[in-house]
Structures are given as C-alpha cells and as structure tokens.
Amino acid sequence: MNAKTVEENAAQRRRLSALTAGCTEDDLRRDAGNGWSVATKLAHLAFWDQYSLALVRRWEREGVQSLPSEVDAVNEAVRVLSAAIPLGATVELARAAAQAIDETLEGITAGLEAAIEAAGRARILRRSEHRREHLDQIEKALRG
C-alpha cells in the first residue's frame, strides 16, 4: 500500500494510544456528544476497524465486491451494544483492531488497493480519516 496512507494510519493509531494512555473509568464515561461517551467512541472505532479488516481479508480471497450498508443503523447498534463492554476493554479493543487492520493493509497488493479504490471504498484503506474524526471528539471530551 502507498507509504503516505500507511504513515497516516500509523500516526492516528499512535494518537489513539496516546489519548487513551492512563484513561480512567471516569474519563471513559465522559460525554462525547449525541449520546456517546468516550468509551462508546472507542467501541465504535474498534468495530469499524474490525469490519474493515474482515472486508479486506475477504476481498483478498474473493475479490472486491461492494455491498451497500446502512451506516447510521450500524452505528446506532454499535452505540447501544457498546454499553455491555467493560469500560477499560474499549481501549484495548480499539488499539488491537487498529493495529490489526493497519498491519493487514500494509501487506496488501497494489492490485487490491487499486480495486478497493475503484469500488469507491477508499475509506477502508484510509483508516486515519475515520480515526481522526473520532479522536478529535474524544480529545475534546477528555479536555472537558
């Protein structure tokens, strides 16, 4: 995969680790807006990185197929279900999922990268864009 995207993904993964280092349960409960806490934002990030990983692995085997998804419905389901995840576990889930997708993306072929781009699914490759959006919200919530 192209070096710029790899570095941007890694930079936001490092930011995720730095922002969550030393987070207390009170920090994870902080309101991040629209009914989301810091912990639910982390669960959200973990879900979408894990989802991206599952897609890339499938596409490596079967070729890229673009299927529609109801993103808002999925996000609401993740928000509700994340309440069942222990607060501290959301940190590790987000970190592990980010690491797993980034490592997988670093090893994909140029052909697969081009096919993902051509299918209009570039956000699967550019995990940094999604992380940055939510890490900005988490950072704001943690600042109080």
**116-135 pLDDT tens trace:** 999 999 999 999 999 999 99
What does the mean pLDDT of the chain come to?
96
Q: Which amino acid is at 27?
A: D
- Cα gap 131→42, rounded to integer Å: 9
pLDDT band at residue 68 under the 50/70/90 scheme: confident
Mean pLDDT of 72-87: 94
pTM: 0.95
- Give me the pLDDT at residue 66, please: 80
* Domain positions in the chain: 3-143
| Multiple choice CATH, 3-143, 1.20.1250.20, 2.60.420.10, 1.25.40.20, 1.20.120.450 | 1.20.120.450
Handedness of CA 63, 65, 71, 73 (dihedral sign): negative
